[in-house]
């Protein structure tokens, strides 16, 4: 116990040591030693570049200066270019960015809360709830009559969005009710998974009895897409996502405390009940908004938080929350660009691209984790 020989004096009791409390610059302090906060800046620049790229690239080739002109003055040399940029590329680009942010952040919330590196927003059964809603609308309207049969047009799209949103929101409400009662994290995880199976079975049942063209419409929805959101719908998506992000930001400190486990988090003053509800609510807002407008988009939620921890070399949510936001948007924009490779009329399903990009990341994490364990 030699190190205790010179007893350190507690700062509060040391005479003349008192000084005005003022917050130090956030990321400069010793607790962030080893972390790479400057990566956030790089992510921000990358996001800016990808946003422009997403506006500039598409099946129609528009000169880049014309794109800038549309953005700055709202008018290009050719009306068709203005139309393409403002009506198609801008909403698609912003949708991809908002969806990426929402999925990245909700993935981070789930992984921290469940203390499980493989948790993702959909483990709570959100996508299952959304898909049931969509399946009910798409697969049963044919039975109900011809009124909505032609409704794979605008009305049908709106109905599907609403069905997915309601399905996802109802699922989250259910999870919320359970989360308030059930204290055990593992129980909640298992209930979410079981709920997912239950709903998947109901969807299968609906598919089994559905008309082939209806099944095709349902499967198209499950592919996911950023192109279905109109300029009129965009504010709704953006509003829900921003609300979810703000709520997540308010949970920053509790999320950090949860890194030490529930017992320690509680002993550090975290209100676990409130935190649990906050996490479920934020995830509900983020994921049901995205699923309603873009379909069940896989892998961004699970891969982006791992990517950010690696890039930022930190587990601190003050870095990870903005990090997953930026990286999520970047990854979604990348996926969207790859899915609609320019100079090519072929459009790949979004989920194919995200899974092809995301699965290797998850595999890498699992393999590296297995090495690090022993």
Phi-psi region of 296 (alpha: psi -120 to 50; beta: other; left: phi over 0): beta
Tokens of 148: 């909505």
CB of 301 to another protein, least distance (A): 19
Q: In terms of CB distance, is 10 or 181 closer to another protein?
A: 10
CB of 250 to another protein, least distance (A): 7
Q: Which of positions 132-191 make contact with another protein (CB under 8 A)?
A: none
Q: In terms of CB distance, is 40 or 210 closer to another protein?
A: 40
| Binds another protein (CB under 8 A): choice among 201, 260, 363, 367 | 260
Is 28 a binding residue for another protein by CB under 8 A? The answer is no
- CA gap 35, 60 in Å, rounded: 43
- CA gap 354, 360 in Å, rounded: 10
| Binds another protein (CB under 8 A): choice among 88, 157, 227, 266 | 266
| Binds another protein (CB under 8 A): choice among 24, 147, 154, 346 | 24
| Binds another protein (CB under 8 A): choice among 191, 257, 280, 281 | 257
Q: How many CA atoms lie within 13 A of 311 on its CB side?
A: 22
Q: In terms of CB distance, is 64 or 264 closer to another protein?
A: 264
Q: Which of positions 308-347 make contact with another protein (CB under 8 A)?
A: 309, 313-316, 318
54, 95, 106, 135, 283 from 239: Cα distances, Å: 22, 12, 16, 26, 14
Phi-psi region of 145 (alpha: psi -120 to 50; beta: other; left: phi over 0): left
Is 17 a binding residue for another protein by CB under 8 A? The answer is yes
* Nearest one of 48, 81, 87, 49 to 67, comparing CA atoms: 81
**162, burial (CB in 10 Å: exposed 0-12, middle 13-18, buried 19+):** middle
Number of residues in contact with another protein under rule CB under 8 A? 47
Q: Which of positions 29-58 make contact with another protein (CB under 8 A)?
A: 29-35
CB of 279 to another protein, least distance (A): 16
Let me know: does 219 contact 151? Beta carbons within 8 Å: no
Q: In terms of CB distance, is 16 or 372 closer to another protein?
A: 372
Is 4 a binding residue for another protein by CB under 8 A? The answer is yes
Q: In terms of CB distance, is 69 or 253 closer to another protein?
A: 253
Relative orientation angle of helices 154-181 and 212-223, to the nearest 10 degrees: 60
Q: In terms of CB distance, is 153 or 269 closer to another protein?
A: 269
The residues, any chain, with a CB within 8 Å of residue 320's CB and separated by 6 or more, are: 108, 305, 308, 309, 312, 314
- CA gap 122, 196 in Å, rounded: 9
74, 80, 227 from 66: Cα distances, Å: 10, 11, 22
The residues, any chain, with a CB within 8 Å of residue 325's CB and separated by 6 or more, are: 101, 104, 105, 245
Q: In terms of CB distance, is 69 or 115 closer to another protein?
A: 115
- CA gap 108, 286 in Å, rounded: 12
N-terminal to C-terminal alpha carbon distance within the chain: 31
| Binds another protein (CB under 8 A): choice among 16, 72, 212, 263 | 263
Q: In terms of CB distance, is 120 or 316 closer to another protein?
A: 316
CB of 247 to another protein, least distance (A): 13
Is 269 a binding residue for another protein by CB under 8 A? The answer is yes
Is 23 a binding residue for another protein by CB under 8 A? The answer is yes
Is 214 a binding residue for another protein by CB under 8 A? The answer is no
Is 116 a binding residue for another protein by CB under 8 A? The answer is no
Segment near another protein (CB under 8 A), from 10-18, 152-160, 198-206, 282-290?
10-18
Q: Report the interface residues with another protein, using CB under 8 A.
A: 1, 3-4, 7-12, 17, 19, 21-24, 26, 29-35, 250, 252-253, 256-257, 259-261, 263-264, 266-272, 309, 313-316, 318, 372
């Amino acid at each position: 116990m030699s190190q205790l020989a010179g007893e350190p004096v507690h700062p509060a009791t040391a005479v003349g040591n008192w000084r005005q409390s003022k917050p130090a610059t956030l990321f400069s302090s010793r607790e962030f030693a080893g972390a790479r906060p400057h990566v956030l800046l790089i992510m921000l620049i990358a996001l800016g570049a990808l946003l422009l790229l997403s506006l500039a690239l598409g099946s129609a080739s528009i000169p880049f200066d014309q794109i800038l002109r549309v953005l700055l003055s709202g008018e290009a040399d050719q009306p068709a270019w203005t139309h393409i940029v403002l009506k198609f590329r801008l909403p698609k680009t912003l949708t991809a960015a908002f969806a990426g942010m929402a999925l990245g952040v909700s993935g981070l919330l789930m992984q921290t809360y469940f203390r499980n590196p493989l948790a993702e927003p959909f483990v709570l059964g959100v996508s299952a709830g959304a898909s049931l809603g969509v399946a009910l609308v798409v697969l049963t309207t044919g039975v109900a009559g011809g009124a909505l049969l032609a409704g794979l047009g605008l009305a049908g799209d709106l109905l599907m969005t609403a069905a997915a949103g309601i399905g996802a929101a109802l699922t989250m409400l259910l999870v919320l009710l359970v989360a308030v009662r059930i204290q055990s994290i593992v129980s909640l995880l298992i209930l979410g998974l079981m709920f997912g199976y239950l709903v998947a079975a109901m969807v299968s049942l609906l598919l089994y009895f559905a008309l082939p063209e209806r099944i095709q419409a349902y499967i198209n929805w499950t592919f996911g897409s950023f192109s279905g959101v109109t300029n009129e719908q965009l504010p709704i998506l953006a509003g829900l996502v921003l609300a979810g992000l703000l709520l997540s930001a308010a949970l920053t400190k509790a999320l950090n405390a949860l890194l030490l486990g529930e017992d320690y988090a509680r002993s550090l003053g975290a209100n676990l009940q409130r935190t649990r509800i906050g996490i479920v609510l934020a995830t509900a807002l983020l994921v049901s908004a995205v699923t309603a407008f873009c379909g069940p988009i896989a892998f961004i939620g699970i891969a982006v938080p791992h990517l950010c921890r690696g890039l930022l070399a930190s587990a601190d949510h003050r870095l990870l929350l903005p990090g997953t936001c930026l990286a999520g948007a970047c990854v979604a924009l990348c996926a969207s660009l790859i899915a609609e490779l320019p100079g090519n009329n072929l459009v790949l399903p979004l989920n194919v691209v995200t899974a092809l990009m995301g699965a290797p990341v998850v595999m890498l994490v699992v393999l590296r984790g297995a090495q690090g364990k022993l």
